[in-house]
Structure formats: C-alpha cells, structure tokens
Amino acid sequence: MSNKKNILPIILSVVLHLVLIGAIVWKFIWQPNIPDHKYVDAPIQARIAQAPKQTPPPAKSEPSKAELEKREKERQKKLEQEKAKQREIERQKKIAEQKAKEKAEAEKQAKEQAELERKKKIALEKKLEEEKRKKEEAEKKRLAEEKRKKEEAEKKRKAEEKRKKEEAEKKRKAEEKRKKEEAERKKREEAERKRKEEEQRLLEELAAQEGEFFDAMEGDVKKAQVMTERDKYLAMIDAKIQQNWYKPKNPGMCKVQIRTGPGGVVLDAQVVNGTDDATCNTGLAAVHRSEPLPFPEDPDVIEELRVIGITFEPKQD
C-alpha cells in the first residue's frame, strides 16, 4: 500500500509533463509561419502576462527577408533546444521512474525480506520453544525415572533387609529347636540310663526273690516262676512306656490295651477308657515309641503277656 502511494505522484507528474510536451510540439509543428514579432512561446507569454504593463514601443518597419530567415533559424534553434531540453526531461523522468521503480522494488524486497525474517524469527522462536519443551519433558522423564529407580532400589533394599532378618530369625529358631531337641535327647538318654539301672536292679531283686521263692515253694515252682517273670516284664514294659510318654500340659487319665507279638512287637493298641484325647493320643504314641517291648523267651511267660494293660495318669506325690 505504501509503494502505491509513492508511485502515484510520480505517474501524475509524468502524465502532466507528457501533455505539456505534446502541446509544445504540436504548436511548433502545425503553427503557420507568421512574422517574428507575433511569435511568442507559451512560457514567454506567461511571463509577459505576469510582467507589469509597459508603454508599447513605436511601430517598426517590416523586417527584411534576411531578418525573417535569421529569425526562423533562431526559432528552429530554440525549437531544437526545447526538444533537447524535453529529451533531457524525458531522460531525467525515466531515471526518476527507474529510481522510483528500483526504490519500490527495494522496498518490496525489503518488506518481503522483513516478512521472511519475521517468519524465520517466529519459526526459530517456535523451534526454540519446542526444543525447550522437549528438553523440559526429557528432564521431567529423567527425574521420574531416577525417582522410580530410587524407589525400586529402596524397595529391594527393604525386601533384602526383611529377608535377612527373617532368615536370621529362622536360623535362631532352628538353633533354639536344635538345642532344645539336644537337651531333650540327653534327658531321654539319661532317663533311659536310669531306667536300665532300675530295670537291672529290679531284675536282680526279682532274681533274688525268685531264689527265695524257689527255696520256700518247691511244690509250685514253675507256676510261681512264670507269674514272677510276668510281673517282672510287666513292670519293665510299664517303665519303658512311661519313660517314653511325653505328657501333655494338663494330663488326665487313659487306659490302653496292648496286644503283643513275638519279640515284643506291638500288634495292636487301643484306648479302653480315657478322660481326654491329648492324654490318650500321647499314650498311644508312647506305646509305639517303646517298640520292641521288653520280652521274655519263656513261652509260658510270653503267653501271659499276650494282652496287657497300661494306665497313663499323672503321678500322685
């Protein structure tokens, strides 16, 4: 819009100059030959019109032919000068037009370049903004990933710490259990040792009693011997089973019937009467834990021990 405003005055000026020049040329070409005293250029007429009025000079005589020719030559010379001047005007006009055109083109190019620079600047700003956004997004993702890794590492550390604690606790309990079992084993071994000593003592007492009995009762020796052996093995069996009985916390009373086989094996064990399951269950377990039961070789005594009864109850102080 600015370029159009700058060119319009130039175009109007050129048109006016062309009209003026055309009028002058037309006048000089088509004007009939008249005496020089009547020929006056338009600019001269304008100057005469503007000049103050003077007293007209006295009338002159008719110019001679030579004078007319001289005047014609001067007119032609002046016309050529005017044409040269007009050509110079045209040249200057073309130069001005070219300069105006170049200026308009330069302004157009400058405007286009400015617009291009503006667009480049906007594009660059957008690019920088996008790079900044991507950089911030990447940094945000990096921090989130770093946080996630830290949290996962902390989670793993806590899980490992928990696992180690649980493992240590498990080992501690296992060691406690092992020590407890070792103590119980030693206790059982000690009890077994004492039981055997007691059994040996009882055997010796029974042997002594048998000797005395046989000395006193010669008539029924065999029967007494069988019953004595039976009582002896009953005591030994009861002692062994009672030794292997792991009493519950609050034991009640339970009677168990045992059916034996060769070599002291337990063919069957059943509860005959009992006050609570814990006492009976631990009693039955003690019976099977005591296999093989102490058993004689005498068939008569073995026959007396085919079915025996054991009572489990807390000892009365």
The CA-based angle 156-160-163, given to 5 degrees, is: 140
Q: 267 near 292, Cβ under 8 Å?
A: no
Amino acid 206: pLDDT: 83
Q: What are phi and psi of 274, to 5 degrees?
A: -160, 150
pLDDT at residue number 216: 62
Q: 268: which residues sit within 8 A by CB, 6+ positions away?
A: 258, 259
Per residue in 288-302, pLDDT (tens digit) is: 999 999 999 999 999
With respect to CATH, is domain 186-312 assigned 3.30.1150.10?
yes
10/3 Cα distance (integer angstroms)? 11
Q: What is the mean pLDDT of each run of 10 residues along the chain (317 residues)?
A: 59 72 61 44 44 55 86 94 94 92 90 92 92 93 94 94 92 92 91 89 83 64 88 95 93 95 93 93 95 92 93 76
Task: Give residue 63's pLDDT.
Answer: 76
Report the pLDDT value the prediction gives residue 61, as an integer from 0 to 100: 67
Q: Taking a C-beta distance cutoff of 8 angstroms, is the pair 310, 258 a contact? A: yes
- Give pLDDT, residue 58: 56
Question: Which are the contacts of 191, defined by CB distance < 8 A and separation ≥ 6?
Answer: 243
**pLDDT tens digits along 104-159:** 999 999 999 999 999 999 999 999 999 999 999 999 999 999 999 999 999 999 99
Residues paired with 83 in a beta bridge: none
Residue ranges of the domains in the chain? 1-30+76-99, 186-312
Torsion of CA 93, 94, 100, 102, to 10 degrees: -160
